[in-house]
Chains A and B, each alone.
Chain A
């Protein structure tokens, strides 16, 4: 089984130095595009590979690039940004790539920058990833020294600067237009679209923001072709995927596997099954802002298409397991506390609605819930849903809530009728302070 993105990552061992990376074929794709391919060829190849964005939305990467104005008339400088903010609760896959093989990301970024003719690039990384930052800084120095970055790369006439930018902590920084505001030294509020960043992004110039995992796929697509990339998958969505599991399984972790590996295989073979004494109750397939799936969904392939058809989203592909010892109301309460805290406050439904939802869940959790509270929660899932707020944070927050109300409604009702949490007291989520 091929694992192109993680083949050189050995947990506990330092990442490959530039020299070691070159010895296993590193930076060959950069040599190849600079010698043999025009930017349009790179765009077309990536489009043909069906690579879909790994940041959560799953948009076709080549297609996304194709909206960037090209040619001598296009505004300059153009920017490429690697989104390494990774603050979606339950998500820890980009960390693996950043700490484990920083040169692979740099190589992927050179390809993406070349494809859109960008001359300045940033890695926007969350502050908490200290080891990753250290490794990236080291790798950037090596890449500059070897002439893969800077002026006139390998004598090709193409120039690219690359900088690491570490954030100061806010979930919104991961949303691509808010990220651009953060990079400009502003509050990380999202921007109105259109204009899309591809046309008017960082400092008003054409900009592409791509997820770390998306960018790390690129060297392999250039080296091995579009058909090879599609062939890595078990289903219609191309490539491999970094999947993860957290919660009460025996061996939680992150694994690169063929796209379309089933949920059951992930949990049972890779996660080692549920811990003794714990039963599976449900899961969020790809981070906090995805809808719950339950027992009946276990044989679904984890890909964009199948998970969407089941009423959820694959999101980041890192799943969080809800077990039978954990109160579903407490689980959702914890998530809504996070979303209410991280709302940027720009638009009223989200700023006012999420704390309201959080308060109701606290009341239910404490046994102070009333039957009409469930209707208020239903109401919010509708009015904070897609189209009613300025960005996708609030609709994302409603995904686990609406599906919890669907699959675990009886558990909500029991809290209300029995006037207490049927789970052990310790499992009541209590926001402190």
Chain B
């Protein structure tokens, strides 16, 4: 069930576009913001609300890299795996994260704290290697910095 607040926010997005369907990505973002991801149930609620079939909405939701259709941890770690970060040796960072969190890409730590995902170029190539945790960007990374960075996220 969409909450009153979610409906209110979605209504605002709908008011900005010709047809409610046009606001569907914004609606998915709103739901993901409150739950961390978009469950089948949320997907169906949004689909009903904007007048789409769940299948049609899912075709949109699954197209985009950052609409999560599976649960994620409290914090999402996005590691840039594109060319400049690779040239600058990002694998050390990735391997240290694998080891430290004891998970691989696409997995979530058992305590639900972190989900680890690869991500394409973060647009900060002059300061590679780089990663993002939630809304925070870290660049010029070295393996030694990782422990301290991860500690900030509980």
* Chain A 306-343 interface 0/1 with B at a Cβ cutoff of 8 Å (1 = within): 00000000000010111100100011001101100110
**Chain B residues in 8 Å Cβ range of A320:** 83-84, 87, 125
* Chain B 40-75 interface 0/1 with A at a Cβ cutoff of 8 Å (1 = within): 000000000000000000011001111100000000
Complex CA gap A248/B126 in Å reads 10
Q: What's the nearest-Cβ distance from chain B to residue A186, in Å?
A: 6
**Chain B residues in 8 Å Cβ range of A187:** 59-60, 63
Instruction: Flag whether A253 is at the interface (Cβ < 8 A).
Output: yes
Contact call A90/B66, Cβ cutoff below 8 A: no
- Enumerate A211-262 residues with CB–CB distance to B below 8 Å: 244-248, 252-254
Contact call A91/B125, Cβ cutoff below 8 A: yes
Complex CA gap A244/B81 in Å reads 19
Complex CA gap A426/B91 in Å reads 8
Contact call B83/A188, Cβ cutoff below 8 A: no
Instruction: Flag whether B150 is at the interface (Cβ < 8 A).
Output: no
Q: What's the nearest-Cβ distance from chain A to residue B142, in Å?
A: 16
Complex CA gap A320/B126 in Å reads 9
Contact call A318/B125, Cβ cutoff below 8 A: yes
**Chain A residues in 8 Å Cβ range of B122:** 128
Contact call B105/A89, Cβ cutoff below 8 A: no
Instruction: Flag whether B15 is at the interface (Cβ < 8 A).
Output: no
Contact call A126/B123, Cβ cutoff below 8 A: yes
Tally A residues with Cβ within 8 Å of B. Answer: 58
Known: A163-B16, A169-B65, A170-B64. A90 touches B105 (CB 8 A): no
- Among A130, A337, A429, contact of B135 (Cβ-Cβ < 8 Å): A130
Known: A244-B125, A246-B125, A432-B118. A90 touches B84 (CB 8 A): yes
Instruction: Flag whether A297 is at the interface (Cβ < 8 A).
Output: no
Contact call A90/B121, Cβ cutoff below 8 A: yes
**Chain A residues in 8 Å Cβ range of B104:** 432-433
Q: What's the nearest-Cβ distance from chain B to residue A342, in Å?
A: 7
Instruction: Flag whether B22 is at the interface (Cβ < 8 A).
Output: yes
Q: What's the nearest-Cβ distance from chain A to residue B24, in Å?
A: 4
Contact call B29/A168, Cβ cutoff below 8 A: yes
Known: A170-B65, A187-B59. A432 touches B105 (CB 8 A): yes
**Chain B residues in 8 Å Cβ range of A89:** 82-84, 120-121, 125
Q: What's the nearest-Cβ distance from chain B to residue A333, in Å?
A: 9
**Chain B residues in 8 Å Cβ range of A433:** 104-106, 118
Contact call A253/B123, Cβ cutoff below 8 A: no
Contact call A91/B105, Cβ cutoff below 8 A: no
- Among A87, A188, A247, A254, contact of B121 (Cβ-Cβ < 8 Å): A87
Contact call A252/B86, Cβ cutoff below 8 A: no
Q: Which of A184, A330, A429 is packed against the most chain B CB atoms within 10 Å?
A: A184
**Chain A residues in 8 Å Cβ range of B88:** 246-248
* Chain A 158-179 interface 0/1 with B at a Cβ cutoff of 8 Å (1 = within): 0000010001111100000000
Known: A129-B123, A169-B65, A426-B91. A246 touches B84 (CB 8 A): yes
**Chain A residues in 8 Å Cβ range of B105:** 432-433
Complex CA gap A288/B84 in Å reads 10
Q: What's the nearest-Cβ distance from chain B to residue A122, in Å?
A: 10
Complex CA gap A94/B59 in Å reads 30
Instruction: Flag whether A185 is at the interface (Cβ < 8 A).
Output: yes
Q: What's the nearest-Cβ distance from chain A to residue B130, in Å?
A: 10
Complex CA gap A86/B105 in Å reads 24
Q: What's the nearest-Cβ distance from chain A to residue B67, in Å?
A: 5
- Nearest A residue (CB) for B62: A187
- Listed in ascending order, the chain A residues whose CB lies under 8 Å from chain B are 86-92, 94-95, 126-131, 163, 167-171, 182, 184-188, 203, 244-248, 252-254, 288, 318, 320-323, 326, 330-331, 334-335, 337-338, 341-342, 344, 426, 429-433
| 18 further contact pairs, Cβ within 8 A, besides A87-B123, A247-B84, A334-B82 | A92-B126, A127-B66, A167-B64, A168-B64, A169-B64, A170-B64, A185-B25, A188-B64, A246-B87, A247-B88, A318-B125, A320-B84, A323-B87, A331-B83, A334-B86, A335-B83, A338-B121, A432-B94
- Show 6 residue pairs from A and B whose CB-CB distance is below 8 angstroms, ordered by the A residue: A90-B82, A185-B60, A186-B60, A321-B87, A330-B86, A344-B63
